[in-house]
Amino acid sequence: MELKKTENEISELVTLYEDLRGKLMSVVDSCKDAGAIEGEEEQCGNDDPDYKGGTVVLSIPPSMEDIIILHDDVTNSISFELERGHLLQHISLDQWNQLQWSRTHILDGLQTLQPRMDRFQKKLADIDPITGNPRYGEHTQKRVQSILHTYNGLVAAQEQHLPPMEVLEQIIQQKKEEEALRQEQLQKEEQLKQLVQQQQQQLEEQLRIQEQFLQKQKEEEERRKLAELAEKSRLQRMGLEQQRQEEERQRLEKIQLEEQSWENSIPKGSMNQQLEILRASTTVDGDYTIAIQSLHRLFQQILAKPEQVSFRKIRRDHPQFTKDIGRHAGGKEFLISAGFHLSDDEDNIPCFLSKEPDLENDMDAWSDWYSNIKSVVEILEQELEGIKKKKTKK
């Protein structure tokens, strides 16, 4: 029973050995197809596969037919020097795990059979003291010798030519690390893609609202002009100039309410959000840098001379302001979020105004206002530094 069981277990190990040999040949063939073979040479002796610079040496051991039937020298094998990067790139983690599994089971099986092989070897040399004949009969001797020959061939082959467990473990660990990095990179790319989509949607929504607002203003302006012409003609006919003035006052009041509503819709302190919108809306190379530089110069002047009203007042229709800042979505909004208000100057010209609190009567309010100006300058300086770093990287 023990002999038959051992023959079956040896047969299973032979099958595992041939399967592992086939897997090693598949690895080499894959690397050949990918052009990853550094060199190919006949090897003898106990050259353990190991890392050599940027390569790994794998051996194709002799077949069990060479070992058992043809009684070939088990030290003969073919070794391949494979580029380590190609091994990681072209051989899957599942293939490496299968190699490790086969290697582990062969090693465990040989170790389990070792005590039994020792007993068989001892009994094979025993002589019956009474008959003077060997313990085993002729048929049993051949079976035992065949088992021992196969076992010893497997032991020699696995010691000399099968990949050491530590090499497989190193490659599998690195393969897992690379897979983890790849998944992390894919996750980052997906997050970046979602962020870009979200920003694009926000920009599109901002532009849609702005377009609707401008269209509404245009339509109302056209209606107003038509109504104004008709009313003017009527007033000229009726001589009711006073009524026309009252209508004009109501119109201006309506515009003021609409502007106030727009101003109130912009969150105070949302400078960073407005910068994101401004960055996304400046499609021409350099426009964003010009806008940030202009905003920085404006707030820097206020910071240096807060008492200077001309630095704190910007005409809404000023050509340079419109070119650098006002024409971009997020530009005017940045001013409002930073503390500016819609106003008219002494000539009733629409402007943006940052009103300075009375320093003598309300020191706390003035300090808060001035601290806000400093914070805005710091934000713009950080943005300019970021632009500078991006240019340096390019």
> What is the predicted pLDDT for the residue at 71?
45
Question: Six-digit token pair at 119?
Answer: 């007993």
Question: What are the pLDDT tens digits along the chain (394 aa)?
Answer: 788 889 898 889 888 888 877 777 777 676 666 565 544 443 333 344 443 346 555 566 666 666 655 444 444 555 555 555 655 666 677 777 777 788 788 888 888 989 998 888 888 888 877 877 787 888 888 888 888 888 888 887 777 666 665 666 666 667 677 777 878 888 888 888 888 888 888 888 888 888 888 888 888 888 888 888 887 777 777 776 777 778 778 887 888 888 888 889 999 989 999 999 999 998 887 899 999 999 999 999 999 999 999 999 999 999 999 999 999 999 999 999 999 999 888 888 899 999 999 888 999 999 999 999 999 999 999 999 998 888 887 6
> What is the predicted pLDDT for the residue at 82?
56
> What is the predicted pLDDT for the residue at 345?
83
Buried b (16+ CB within 10 A) or exposed e, 216-253: eeeeeeeebeeebeebeeebeeeeeeeebeebeeeeee
> What is the predicted pLDDT for the residue at 373?
94
Q: pLDDT > 70: what percent of the chain? A: 79
> What is the predicted pLDDT for the residue at 195?
87
Question: Six-digit token pair at 278?
Answer: 């401004």
> What is the predicted pLDDT for the residue at 334?
95
